[in-house]
Structure 1
Amino acid sequence: MIASGASSRIFDLGDGRILKLFRESVSDEMIEREVEVTAFAHAQGLPVPRPLDRRITDGERGIVYPLLDGRTLLSALRTQWAKGQALLQDMAALHGGIHDQNAAGDFRSVRQVLDTDIHYGPASEEAKQAVIAHLDTLPDGEWLLHGDYHIGNIMLTADGMRVIDWAKGARGMPAADVVRTEMLIRFGIGPSDMLTNLWRDWAARFYVGRYLARTGMTEAELTAWRPVVATAWLRARLPVRDRAFRRYLNQSLRACNLPPAS
């Protein structure tokens, strides 16, 4: 086994391929979505490993991928702080390239995903109703979204960055995907000491700034999507930097004249 996470384990098959075995808690639907979205992204010419095969091993469901020789962006940033700006800039440019791809009719809508997560999340009923009503005013989109684009899901190889773990892929407005990445950088799983928190906040601001400069997206678009994506995240997020995240959430709600989450 060469890697292990909350949803899967990775095994080197020894022939230039790896086997990603999913844990029992992962639904068949999510595995199928990972295959479909990853294959679609690869077919568009994006730097994504092509799924090679589906496999069941001792009752466990898996996907076979090419072995990527490299390390995650997360690992690189831990040891190469001086290269942080350049790496985050490349990350933002790659994210913009993903969002250039039209995925009309191919995948689930991110609006549906957000609506469901808000509905079943822990926010007050008043907040849920207000945020869902706000979501209904936002535009639809047909662009490819990764859904979980963070520094642990980007591999650095000799051939450049490669994006992995597409199980949360969807179609929709890129601003929703950018907001989720902003939150994952600041409040996702990882160290939360004071120095690291300062870096995380800076990295999120830098990443967003580089993305906006690359794509022409406006800060107003992010402002409109932040309360929706943040309220939806309440359903499943772990309590990392919880007080800081709650401030972010309530500031996002206030910016759109919405009631607090609780």
Structure 2
Amino acid sequence: MFDQIGSDWTLLGRGKSSEVFRMGDGEVIKIFHPAVSEDMIEREVAAARLATSLRLSTAAPRLRVTVARNSALIYPEISGVSIAAAIRKKPLSAASLLRDMAALLHSVHRQPVSGLRTVKSVLQTDIDYGPAPDAIKRAAIDYLQALPEADHLLHGDFHIDNILLSEGGLVILDWAKAAIGDPAADAVRSEMLMRFGEGPADAITTLWRDWAAGRLGRAYRDVSGVSQDQMSLWRPVVALAWLRARPPVRNRAFHRYLDQALRSAGLPTVN
């Protein structure tokens, strides 16, 4: 237990749910913001330990502690840079890194598991609590229930800031949104995060993000055997669920994407 942030700790990053500091002695500490639920923290611990037990390229927390009464997890430090930072430094490496990222996502999805929440339950909750009209919610949830069941491990937040490029290869971070289900659902979300997630949205970057999302999706389909049609089945509900908490990035483009996915599935549109 720590009364306060250590004076010799170095801030490594700050996100919506936590701050990460280097503590020294090969360890980092992830301090959660007070609003983060106990369920989310326990889910991250359980999923990270499960992924480690499956010999996936990741790290599990060593210890749970508190810092100034905020929950925190101590992890082994992994030296490296995010894929986002690596691409900014060497833009010509993007295609190769996206292929490697797709292969890594497939390695996650190859694992049949139990003990985590299902992706269908996650999507249903987010649709229920999201801002869409009730008629669209009801139609989308009925559609969701008819989608395929599966027991594969899904990461839930697989994007270029959650993957480290280390000396030993790519390493997956942040398992707080992990679930069990159809790999196509997770692949759609990863592609969607690339295209419409947090980050710059100027004209040049937008073109690059659309290219990168397409490249990542094709690479994933090539390595996994998941088809475009399988991904299209999940796109309307994955996109609709994201309305609950998505960042205000490329709003017009995202709503066009959402409505096209809903229309293609025979569902009522939002706009």
Same-fold call, TM > 0.5?
yes
How far apart are 1:125 and its partner, in Å?
1.4
How far apart are 1:25 and its partner, in Å?
1.0
Aligned counterparts of 2:153 and 2:102: Cα–Cα separation in 1: 15
The corresponding residue for 2:133 is: 124
1:77 to 2:87 alignment: yes
The corresponding residue for 1:260 is: 269
Matches within 5 A, 1:100-249: 100-104=110-114, 106-249=115-258
1:138-169 per-residue CA deviation (whole Å, 9 max, x = no partner) reads 01111000010000000110011000010001
Secondary structure of the residue aligned to 1:2 is: strand
Aligned counterparts of 1:257 and 1:5: Cα–Cα separation in 2: 37
How far apart are 1:51 and its partner, in Å?
1.3
Aligned counterparts of 2:37 and 2:161: Cα–Cα separation in 1: 22
Aligned counterparts of 1:89 and 1:153: Cα–Cα separation in 2: 16
Aligned counterparts of 1:247 and 1:78: Cα–Cα separation in 2: 28
Secondary structure of the residue aligned to 1:13 is: strand
- Counterpart of 1:48 (choices 47, 53, 58) is 58
Task: For structure 1, list consecutive stretches of 5 or more residues without a partner in the other structure.
Answer: none
1:250 to 2:259 alignment: yes
Using structure 2 for the length normalisation, give the TM-score.
Answer: 0.95
Aligned counterparts of 1:15 and 1:22: Cα–Cα separation in 2: 21
The corresponding residue for 2:17 is: 7
Using structure 1 for the length normalisation, give the TM-score.
Answer: 0.98
How far apart are 1:80 and its partner, in Å?
1.2
Amino acid at match of 1:253: L
Aligned counterparts of 1:10 and 1:249: Cα–Cα separation in 2: 33
1:93 to 2:103 alignment: yes
Amino acid at match of 1:218: S
Amino acid at match of 1:125: D
Amino acid at match of 1:4: R
Question: Which structure 1 residue ranges, 4+ long, deviate > 6 Å from structure 2?
Answer: none
Task: For structure 2, list consecutive stretches of 5 or more residues without a partner in the other structure.
Answer: 1-10
Aligned counterparts of 2:146 and 2:16: Cα–Cα separation in 1: 35
Aligned counterparts of 1:52 and 1:136: Cα–Cα separation in 2: 37
Secondary structure of the residue aligned to 1:224 is: helix
1:53-94 per-residue CA deviation (whole Å, 9 max, x = no partner) reads 111122111111011111111111112110000000000000
The corresponding residue for 2:67 is: 57
Aligned counterparts of 1:25 and 1:72: Cα–Cα separation in 2: 26
Matched residues, number: 261
How far apart are 1:50 and its partner, in Å?
2.0
Amino acid at match of 2:264: A
1:16-63 per-residue CA deviation (whole Å, 9 max, x = no partner) reads 011111010111110011000000001100000121111112211111
Aligned counterparts of 1:30 and 1:169: Cα–Cα separation in 2: 10
Aligned counterparts of 1:123 and 1:61: Cα–Cα separation in 2: 33
1:33 to 2:43 alignment: yes
- Counterpart of 2:30 (choices 20, 23, 42) is 20
Secondary structure of the residue aligned to 1:147 is: coil
